[in-house]
Structure 1
Amino acid sequence: MTATATRRRGWTVGKAAAWTYLLGVLFVTIFPFYWILRTALSDNYALMAEPASLLPAGFTWGPFRRVLGLATTEESIAEGGSGASVELGHFLVNSVIYATLSTALIVFFSTLAAYAFARLHWRGRDLVFSMFLTALMVPGILTLLPNFVLVKELGLLNTFAGMILPGSLFSAFNIFFLRQFMLGLSTEIEEAALLDGAGRLRVLFGITLPMTSGPVITLSILGFIGMWNDYFWPLLVTSDESVQPLTLALAVFKQSSPQAQPDWAGLMAATLVAALPMLALFMVFGKRIVNSIGFSGVK
């Protein structure tokens, strides 16, 4: 086989098209993050003069200083800022509390329900599970109003409990996901433990849960990211900054501009600071998430 033929077999039209498509998708995915960074390092006045510049317009760290509360009102206005500030640390703490507690409760109760559907035998189990699956077909927007009325009647508006409890007791996808994984596990060790006198809860937390750690961690990461980015539900049930998460603070920061336009550079800086923890989390655990989803196939 000649060298020319080898090169032709190694680099075909199909491979060229596949690589072109892959690079195109990569560009479309990464470019918005680059544009956020470019805007966050720009001066607002320079942005208006050079809106299409691919490099930071009037490079400055001012937007990050404004977001972190290190810039004075005069410095902010001098760079085209609104003069408004956002207590990033306070709202970050609120987001951590909201996302962490919500994720922990959702995963905990989903694990209990999934074990009951996968390991316990009781009358009507399959029927109840089928009813659970129908919840996957119900748009989440339809449950917002009933949940809001419930939270209001319980007097839980403007509280972490009001934000967390309505969505923490039930997740049809999490239950389905964990049940499918548990069905694929061997029951021999669990049956041996039951014969030795172990109770169901001890078997669940001592044997089944360690073997299900991969999917549990996956759901925890995905749930945390979803709660961290949640906007509409906290907007409905909170109006007090003491419990509002960072997503609401960014919206308020965007609107609190006495000048002609919002502080886009400061807003992009705040958005980047808020997104960095989630990006780092997904980069570290991305492979685990993909592997767990692939291994938990429908049975």
Structure 2
Amino acid sequence: MPVTTALTARRTQWSFGRLMAWVYIAAVIVVTIFPFYWILRTALSNNHALPTDPSSPLPVGFTLGAFKRALGIASPAEAVAQGGSGASLDTALYLRNSVIYASVLTVCVVFCSALAAYAFARLRWKGRNVVFTVLLSALMVPGIFLLLPNFVLVKNLGLTNTFAGMVLPGALFSAFNIFFLRQFMLGISREVEEAAFIDGAGPVRVFFRIILPMTAAPIATLSLLTFITAWNDYLWPLLVTNDDSVRPLTLALAVFRQSSPQTAPDWAGLMAATLIAALPMLLLFMVFGRRLVNSIGFTGIK
């Protein structure tokens, strides 16, 4: 085969492979984005009109009434007229509860995990590796197994229907977070730490002045992942709360869904409330998405 023919065949094969890669990426993007589009289409529809054309790709009876119902600013008469149940959703209150729950839990668990990771990575003490191995075994225990004992503990302490009862069981320990931060801290040069010790700094000062700033990237990643997990948490808040003063938005959506047991569900209002609940997470990914990807890449310290 002539050289020109071989090069042409190779270039054609490479172009076809690249085309298939782009087709695959486009398909993944469409599959990922389509549910969000369908939620938005349903939220912008009239709930009475939805059953008349359920397969329409465009909003059926375009209206913003679903968002008004989800935000609790529509009157009962307006809600019923647009296919709602007349129930209201105090979105501001539930958003506040979700922000408090997710923020406090994130701060506590990430800080405690950083302390534990520093002890396992930088301090030398007897039995360190054995304790770390036992700690890693917690990764093999399904989280659902811990729900009942944690609930009994919170109930006996009288912390049901409180933010403390929601936060405390998961605030002090996360095996994955400790493992992740420990692996990163192991890559930090010991010369920097030893220089600080020579200057008279103790372990606590070294941790706050040197280790924490140098692990800012993985800590930011864990904070974002922990916040998202807490924001989307449903089962644990369901077990320990039944009061609107502490109920997060994920539970409020379920209550809103069940507010019309005798009639058809208010799908448009539910989808509007779902979009409102997902909006903070979308904004976080837009702002910190690149940092998240780079930190998960685990490049270490240069």
What pairs up with 1:237-276 in 2 under 5 angstroms?
237-257=240-260, 259-276=262-279
1:82, 1:259 within 8 Å by CA — same for their partners in 2? no
Aligned length: 296
Alignment partner of 1:231 is 2:227: no
| Partner AA of 2:65 in structure 1 | G
CA displacement, residues 173-208 of structure 1 (integer Å, 9 cap, x when unaligned)? 000000000001111111111111111111000011
* SS of equivalent to 2:49: helix
Q: Alpha carbons of 1:115 and 1:61: their partners in 2 closer, same or farther (altered >3 Å)?
A: same
Alignment partner of 1:64 is 2:67: yes
Superposition RMSD in Å: 1.7
Deviation at 1:16, TM superposition (A): 2.3
* SS of equivalent to 2:109: helix
- Which residue of structure 2 aligns with residue 124 of structure 1? 127
Alignment partner of 1:82 is 2:85: yes
- Which residue of structure 2 aligns with residue 24 of structure 1? 27
* SS of equivalent to 1:44: coil
- Which residue of structure 2 aligns with residue 92 of structure 1? 95
Indicate the larger mover: 259-268 or 138-147.
259-268
| Partner AA of 1:58 in structure 2 | G
Alignment partner of 1:220 is 2:214: no
CA distance in 2, matches of 1:258, 1:295: 49
* SS of equivalent to 2:264: coil
CA distance in 2, matches of 1:26, 1:105: 35
Deviation at 1:13, TM superposition (A): 2.5
Q: Alpha carbons of 1:58 and 1:189: their partners in 2 closer, same or farther (altered >3 Å)?
A: same
CA displacement, residues 20-79 of structure 1 (integer Å, 9 cap, x when unaligned)? 211111111000000000000000111110100000010000001111122111111111
Alignment partner of 1:203 is 2:213: no
1:180, 1:296 within 8 Å by CA — same for their partners in 2? no
1:177, 1:296 within 8 Å by CA — same for their partners in 2? no
2:85, 2:263 within 8 Å by CA — same for their partners in 1? no
CA displacement, residues 247-279 of structure 1 (integer Å, 9 cap, x when unaligned)? 010100000015421100000000001101101
Deviation at 1:243, TM superposition (A): 0.6
What pairs up with 1:27-46 in 2 under 5 angstroms?
27-46=30-49
1:40, 1:265 within 8 Å by CA — same for their partners in 2? yes
| Partner AA of 2:98 in structure 1 | S
| Partner AA of 1:25 in structure 2 | V
CA distance in 1, matches of 2:11, 2:67: 51
1:151, 1:157 within 8 Å by CA — same for their partners in 2? yes
| Partner AA of 1:56 in structure 2 | P
- Which residue of structure 2 aligns with residue 165 of structure 1? 168
TM-score, L = length of structure 1: 0.95
1:82, 1:258 within 8 Å by CA — same for their partners in 2? no
Indicate the larger mover: 36-45 or 16-25.
16-25
CA distance in 1, matches of 2:246, 2:116: 30
User: Structure 2 stretches of 5 or more lacking a match?
Assistant: none
| Partner AA of 1:192 in structure 2 | A
2:99, 2:231 within 8 Å by CA — same for their partners in 1? yes
| Partner AA of 2:128 in structure 1 | R
